[in-house]
Amino acid sequence: MQTRVAEGSDVEAITTVINAAFKRAESFFIERDRIDYDAVRRFMQCGQFLLLEDDRGLAGCVYVEKRGDRAYTGLLAVDPSRQKAGLGSQLMIAAEDHARESGSRFMDIRIVSLRRELPEFYFRRGYTPTGTEPFTAGLKTKIPCHFINMSKPLV
């Protein structure tokens, strides 16, 4: 497996893997694609997607954006056929290393309150809760939910 920074030609593959992964994980509370090509392009103007690839193609991706001495990471997605193999952990390590190398001292994330498996995944990596915020305005969900903000020092 190799990790690299995404290029413009990767937009379609990024969109496909994010939508497949999030559909599998979030279809119980939301009925829509997680992202479209235009949104991926907008994200690429503010930050970078890191891609995890092998000879079979794109296995997963994660978004990283520098925000002063902090970084934000999100959209962690692993191809559903490759989940439960530690690839999400590999991508988080790559995201943290990438942020650290760019001078960030902290990494921030936000997770959906309904995703019961996520807090433990991030606790094991040193993240702690820092607060909550409302779910995306105007986005209809089957079950009420909110975001949980978490952070980790990178130094």
User: How confident is the model over 79-108, as pLDDT tens digits?
Assistant: 999 999 999 999 999 999 999 999 999 999
Q: Is 75 left (phi over 0), alpha (psi -120 to 50) or beta?
A: left
Question: Considering the entire predicted model, what is its pTM?
Answer: 0.94
Instruction: Evaluate the CA torsion angle 20, 26, 32, 34 in order and state its sign.
Output: negative
Amino acid at 141: T
List b or e across 53-63, with b for residues whose CB sees 16 or more CB atoms inside 10 angstroms: beeeebbbbbb
* Residues constituting the chain: 155
Q: Which two tokens stand for residue 155?
A: 């130094």
User: How confident is the model over 18-59, as pLDDT tens digits?
Assistant: 999 999 999 999 988 999 999 999 999 999 999 999 999 999
CATH 3.30.413.10 fits domain 2-109: no
CA distances 97 to 44, 52, 93, 119, Å, are: 18, 14, 6, 21
The domain limits of the chain are 2-109
